[in-house]
């Protein structure tokens, strides 16, 4: 699970950097970026499955529903961002992808918080 | 209201704003549902406030996306008032907040985005109403 999170975080941050370049140059997302985001999404599906297996064995104090909620929520961000972004092929639309790629690593932080019993 | 004048709130920079509001609508809805369904009696006040915040975010997202400027101004204004009041009271009377809401401590659990978001939202809504058509079309 940790490995998936590290890979996805790296991919997201690299994508964010690339999107920032696109924004500055006022370009719309290219095929390669969308492929990376597809890869991220596939890994997030694996992440969801691994996470659900892991949470069945969670130590006391971990809010299981909150954890599963965040796992599912994390899965929704990238597709929602891509769909919402494609509705308007402008700088604003591209910036939606930037937000999406930055929110995913943040969700991982929340997941660790919930696991630590903090929430 | 729903003609060109209004629909602009969800375009250009507004597109990003709608997305961020959508994420918060989802997050706040999820959070308050979990809280109210699993432990409503633990901390009724914060959990009720979480539910209120969820409704505010949902309506704000809808209003911004569909260009209902009046409704958007009202909900974003309410959101700013909410985060300021809850933020302040959660610092002054922490005993009334045994568990956190989205707006507790000015939203520091969410990187202060809940505090900044309504300000950006108001800026966008009020600015957009003054901007000439040509400018907006170029965004």
- Please say whether the beta carbons of B69 and B131 come within 8 A: no
pTM, rounded to two decimals: 0.87
Q: And the tokens for A63?
A: 């809010």
Q: How far apart are CA B124 and CA A14, in angstroms?
A: 29
Q: How far apart are CA A16 and CA A8, in angstroms?
A: 12
Q: Which of A65, A81, A106 sits opposite B19 (nearest CB)?
A: A81
For residue B32, CA distances in Å to A66, A110, A117 come to 10, 16, 18
Q: What is the mean pLDDT of each run of 10 residues along chain B (139 residues)?
A: 58 93 92 84 85 95 94 96 93 85 86 93 81 49
User: A96: part of which helix (H) or strand (E)?
Assistant: helix A91-115
| CA angle A85–A88–A92, rounded 5-degree value | 70
A39-69 pLDDT, tens digit each:
999 999 999 999 999 999 888 888 888 899 9
Q: And the tokens for A91?
A: 């700088």
Q: How far apart are CA B29 and CA B72, in angstroms?
A: 19
**A115 CB contacts (<8 Å, ≥6 apart)?**
A58, A62, A67
- Please say whether the beta carbons of B25 and A106 come within 8 A: no
- What ipTM describes this predicted complex? 0.90
User: B101: part of which helix (H) or strand (E)?
Assistant: none
Q: Which of B14, B38, B100 sits opposite A65 (nearest CB)?
A: B38
Measured in angstroms, the CA of B49 and the nearest CA of chain A are apart by: 17
Q: And the tokens for B135?
A: 């400018």
* Contact state of B27 with A73 under an 8 Å Cβ cutoff: yes
Quick one: residue A61, left, alpha or beta (phi over 0 = left, psi -120 to 50 = alpha)?
A: left
Q: Write down the pLDDT at residue A1.
A: 87
* Contact state of A65 with B13 under an 8 Å Cβ cutoff: no
Residues 80-109 of chain A with CB under 8 A from chain B are: 80-81, 84-85, 87-88, 90-93, 95-96, 99-100, 103, 106
* Contact state of A80 with B30 under an 8 Å Cβ cutoff: no
Q: Classify the C-alpha dihedral B68-B69-B75-B79 as positive or negative.
A: positive
């Amino acid at each position: 699970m940790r490995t998936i999170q590290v890979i996805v975080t790296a991919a997201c941050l690299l994508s964010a950097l690339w999107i920032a370049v696109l924004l500055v140059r006022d370009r719309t997302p290219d095929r390669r970026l969308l492929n990376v985001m597809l890869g991220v999404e596939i890994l997030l599906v694996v992440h969801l499955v691994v996470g659900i297996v892991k949470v069945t064995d969670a130590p006391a104090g971990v809010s299981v529903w909150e954890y599963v909620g965040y796992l599912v929520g994390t899965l929704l961000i990238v597709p929602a961002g891509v769909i919402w972004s494609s509705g308007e092929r402008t700088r604003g639309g591209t910036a939606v992808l930037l937000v999406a790629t930055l929110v995913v690593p943040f969700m991982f932080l929340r997941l660790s918080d919930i696991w630590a019993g903090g929430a | 209201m729903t003609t060109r004048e209004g629909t602009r709130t969800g375009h250009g920079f507004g597109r990003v704003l709608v997305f961020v509001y959508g994420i918060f609508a989802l997050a706040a809805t999820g959070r308050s549902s979990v809280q109210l369904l699993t432990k409503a009696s633990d901390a009724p006040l914060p959990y009720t406030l979480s539910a209120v915040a969820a409704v505010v975010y949902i309506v704000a997202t809808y209003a911004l996306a569909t260009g209902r400027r009046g409704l958007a101004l009202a909900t974003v204004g309410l959101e700013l008032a909410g985060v300021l009041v809850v933020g302040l009271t959660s610092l002054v009377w922490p005993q009334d907040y045994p568990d956190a809401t989205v707006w507790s401590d000015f939203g520091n659990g969410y990187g202060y985005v809940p505090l900044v978001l309504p300000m950006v939202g108001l800026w966008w809504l009020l600015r957009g109403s003054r901007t000439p058509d040509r400018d907006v079309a170029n965004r």
